[in-house]
Amino acid sequence: MVWVAAPGRVEPVSEEMRLGFDIAGKITDVLVEEGDAVRRDQPLARLWDADLKAAVAAAEAALAAREAELEKVLAGARSMERKEARAALDEAVTVMRQAKIEHERREKLLAGEVLAPEEEDRAEKEYLVSRQRVEAARQRFQLVDDPSRSEDIKRAWAQVDEARASLDRARAYAAKAEIRSPIDGVVLRKHRRAGEMVSVSFDTPVVTVGDISRLRVRADVDEKDIAKVREGQRAYMVADAYGQRKFWGTVFRVARILGRKNVRTDDPAEKNDTRILEALLDLDEPGLPVGLRMDVFVIVEGGAGSEGTGKPDIRPTGGQ
């Protein structure tokens, strides 16, 4: 059996998801502890958000006001408003007619030189004022009696849409004060507690979650061995904590770009500037702790018939 050796690290099938807030603030609640199982969309932590809730309430009130205005425009004037406008117009017409009669009477008296010119001027002025009042009352009645204009309806709809968008924006911003789990999984790490401040200026995760129903190992394949590793190859992994026990798995993805090393060992002679190619392996069995460092042996020649606790006859590839 010929193999390629590489250092690796255990991770959840979802990878480790470090969750934080999108806005700065003070944490009021962290609702989970390390090891807790969580469901998708479950609340995990909250910020102080009284001001955000107030903004949402104000936006809801503004939307309600705009919707009431729209209903009024669509419904037009009420019958009582029409009656009031009609009565005001009739009253103004009656006053104008009376003023006209009085004006004509005083013109005749002025012609017979039995009335002072000032009295006739006053009557004329009252008549002209009454005519203006009639015109104003007629315009008011036409405005109330006519159906809503299309531009008024469009304007009312636009104001409702604007208010609704403002409410959506306020609700979206308020939602940023809460962290919800994006997956079904387990809380792997609790980084912050209630009372602490968080910022968006630097990385401040609150919790780390992951789906550990299945586990993977991320291995750093040395640049000189990348041509030997392919998807579908079997591999076994060992860790100091488990002695000679082997954990078997399968290579299911090989990266397409070289990068820097991800897994560090305790070897002081280790070269950290080595170029590597990441390979992801599906473990056959769960139960290993996330973050455990493992030695990965990808079988590139020979069978995997020794999948047990015994040590098979194996040979490394060149340079191993």
Q: For residue range 193-204, list pLDDT tens digits in order.
A: 999 999 988 888
Average pLDDT, the chain: 85
Number of folded domains in the chain?
A: 3
Claim to verify: residue 250 and residue 310 sit in the same structural domain? yes
- Inside any domain, residue 146: yes
Claim to verify: residue 269 and residue 305 sit in the same structural domain? yes
pLDDT at 314: 45
* Cβ–Cβ under 8 Å, residues 296 and 219: yes
Tokens 């041509």, located at residue:
227
**Residue 52: enclosing H or E segment and its boundaries?**
helix 50-75
What are residue 67's DSSP bridge partners?
none
pLDDT at 6: 93
Claim to verify: residue 164 and residue 235 sit in the same structural domain? no
How much is the CA Rg of the chain, to the nearest whole Å?
A: 42
pLDDT at 116: 74
Residue 128 has phi, psi (to 5 degrees) of -65, -40
DSSP designation for 314: -
What are residue 9's DSSP bridge partners?
218, 293
* Cβ–Cβ under 8 Å, residues 229 and 298: yes
Instruction: Return the CATH number at 189.
Output: 2.40.50.100
Per-residue pLDDT at 310 exceeds 80: no
One-letter-per-residue 3-state SS of 125-157? HHHHHHHHHHHHHHHHHHHHHCCCCHHHHHHHH
DSSP designation for 177: T
Q: Which amino acid is at 309?
A: T
Per-residue pLDDT at 270 exceeds 50: yes
Claim to verify: residue 155 and residue 219 sit in the same structural domain? no
| Of 313, 294, 303, the residue nearest 243 (C-alpha) | 294
pLDDT at 91: 85
Domain housing 309: 2-14+212-316
Instruction: Return the CATH number at 222.
Output: 2.40.30.170
The rounded Cα 303 to chain-centroid distance in angstroms is: 51
* Least confident stretch, 117-131, 176-190, 193-207: 117-131
The angle formed by the CA atoms of residues 13, 177 and 50, to the nearest 5 degrees, is 160
| Of 222, 230, 239, 255, the residue nearest 290 (C-alpha) | 239
Claim to verify: residue 110 and residue 182 sit in the same structural domain? no
Claim to verify: residue 89 and residue 148 sit in the same structural domain? yes
Give SS3 for 262. coil
DSSP symbols for 54-95: HHHHHHHHHHHHHHHHHHHHHH-S-HHHHHHHHHHHHHHHHH
Claim to verify: residue 125 and residue 200 sit in the same structural domain? no
Query: Per residue in 18-63, pLDDT tens?
Result: 999 999 999 999 999 999 999 999 999 999 999 999 999 999 999 9
DSSP designation for 241: G
DSSP designation for 194: T
Q: Looking at residues 100-116, what average pLDDT do you find?
A: 74
- Inside any domain, residue 53: no
Per-residue pLDDT at 220 exceeds 60: yes
Distances (CA, A) of 113 to 100, 104, 203, 302: 20, 14, 100, 137
